Every structure is written in C-alpha cells, then in structure tokens.
C-alpha cells in the first residue's frame, strides 16, 4: 500500500473509532475505498449507497494497481457523524473491499478535480473569458472563432468559482470528473 500513499489509520482493529460522536451536524467527508477490481464491485458500493439512503456528492473510480487488480473509488459523501461512521462500516464489510479511508479525518489530504467548460462567446466576452482563464491557470484545449473549451484542474471550490465566472460569458456545457484525493505526507 505504501506505493499508493495510503496510511493505515482509523480503520484499524480497535473499536475505539466506533465511540459515538453526538453531533447532529451534517458533514462532508471524502472516502477512499480500495476494492478488488472485479465485475460488479462498483455496483456493490453504489447499490449500498442507494439501498441505505446515503448521499453521493461525487464519485470517481479507476484501476490504480493493475497487477494487484485494485481499483480506487473516491466518494464524497455527506451525513451526520453517526451516518458517516455507518457508511464506512457498511462499505468496509463488502467482501471485495480491502480498505476504507476517511481522508477528512485521517489527517491532511489533497483533493483535485478536472473539469472542462465549453464557452460560446464573441467580442469582448471572448477576451474576458481568456483573461480569466489565464488568471485561473486554465488550459484552452479547443477553440473555434465562436467558442472555447477550457480545461481546469483544482480543488472543487476553484472549479465552482471558475464556472460562476464563465456563466455570464456564455457557458454552454460542463464536464467534471469528480474528486480524486490522497493523504498528504508519507
């Protein structure tokens, strides 16, 4: 697991992490789930969320270890601390799931998302769109005389902010990957 920069953390053998937290505040958590890359593995995780009424704010999945047949699912979810604990326990008992990490509580982590925006605009708007793209360090990956496709990578908040700026300038289409996240440090 060292190669994947995943720390053994709160999901150890102690049940102390099951001590109740009495807050009823809804929190947003980013979970990293390492799962055997077998048919239906993603369906099991998603089916659990829909079947038990949990939220999925975003979800990304891809194979990360070809020889070990492991996929990494990054789920951003929200719920009270009790619900979040329950989600982790429920995901953790899915048979092909190797590890569940709550990156929100297991120390600092980095989150990144990639998005593409199609902006259709002419004249002044075109100039403004390019200027903002430059400020956000956004790449232009396609251009016609009437449109751009911008590619942006960053924290979800940064992508939200750029989307808001593009809206009045002629934002026509958006594609977002959802969050990928890793714990910081070793």
Partner 1 sequence: MKRQMTGAKMIVQALIDQGVDTVFGYPGGAVLPIYDEVFQQNSIKHVLVRHEQGAVHAAEGYARSTGKPGVVLVTSGPGATNAVTGLTDALLDSIPLVVLTGQVPTFMIGSDAFQEADTVGITRPCTKHNWLVKETDNLGATLHEAFHVATHGRPGPVLIDIPKDVQFATGSYESPKPSTSRYQPQVKGNMEEITELVAAMETAKRPIFYTGGGVINSGPAASQLLRELVDATGFPVTSTLMGLGAYPASGDKWLGMLGMHGLYEANMAMHDCDLMINIGARFDDRITGVIDSFSPKSTKAHIDIDPSSINKVIRIDIPIVGDVGHVLEDLLKVWKSRGRKTNSEGLAKWWSKIEEWRAKDCLKFTQSGKVIKPQHALTRLEALTKDHDRYITTEVGQHQMWAAQYLGFEEPNRWMTSGGLGTMGYGFPASIGVQMAHPESLVINVAGEASWLMNMQEMGTAMQFGLPVKQFILNNERLGMVRQWQELLHGERYSQSWSEALPDFVKLAEAFGAKGIICSDPDDLDDAIMEMINYDGPVIFDCLVEKHENCFPMIPSGKAHNEMLLPGDHETQGVIDAKGSVLV
Which residues would be at the binding site for partner 1 (CB under 8 A)?
13-16, 18-20, 22, 39-40, 43-44, 47, 51, 82, 85-86, 89-90, 92-96, 98
75 Cβ partners below 8 Å, 6+ apart? 30, 31, 33, 45, 49, 56, 58, 59
What is the C-alpha to C-alpha distance for residues 159 and 155, in angstroms, rounded to an integer?
Answer: 7
Whichever of 71 and 181 has its CB closer to partner 1, that residue is 71
Which DSSP string corresponds to 160-182?
HHHHHHHHHHHEEEEEE---EEE
Whichever of 53 and 108 has its CB closer to partner 1, that residue is 53
**How far is residue 30 CA from its own chain's centroid?**
7
Q: How far is the CB of 47 from partner 1 (least distance, A)?
A: 6
Whichever of 100 and 138 has its CB closer to partner 1, that residue is 100
Q: How far is the CB of 8 from partner 1 (least distance, A)?
A: 14
Q: How far is the CB of 9 from partner 1 (least distance, A)?
A: 15
Q: How far is the CB of 120 from partner 1 (least distance, A)?
A: 40
Whichever of 50 and 144 has its CB closer to partner 1, that residue is 50
- For 144, list phi and psi in degrees, rounded to 5: -125, -175
């Amino acid at each position: 697991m060292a190669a994947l920069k995943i720390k053994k953390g709160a999901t150890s053998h102690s049940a102390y992490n099951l001590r109740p937290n009495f807050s009823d505040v809804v929190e947003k958590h980013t979970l990293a789930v390492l799962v055997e890359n077998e048919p239906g593995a993603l369906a099991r995780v998603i089916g659990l969320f829909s079947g038990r009424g949990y939220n999925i704010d975003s979800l990304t999945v891809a194979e990360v270890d070809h020889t070990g047949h492991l996929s990494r699912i990054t789920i951003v979810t929200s719920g009270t601390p009790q619900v979040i604990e329950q989600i982790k326990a429920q995901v953790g008992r899915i048979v092909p799931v190797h590890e569940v990490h709550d990156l929100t509580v297991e120390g600092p982590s980095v989150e990144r998302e990639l998005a593409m925006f199609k902006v259709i605009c002419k004249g002044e708007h075109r100039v403004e769109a390019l200027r903002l793209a430059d400020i956000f360090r956004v790449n232009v990956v396609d251009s016609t005389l009437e449109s751009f496709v911008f590619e942006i990578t960053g924290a979800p908040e940064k992508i939200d902010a750029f989307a808001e700026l593009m809206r009045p300038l002629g934002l026509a289409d958006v594609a977002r990957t959802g969050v990928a996240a890793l714990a910081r440090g070793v």
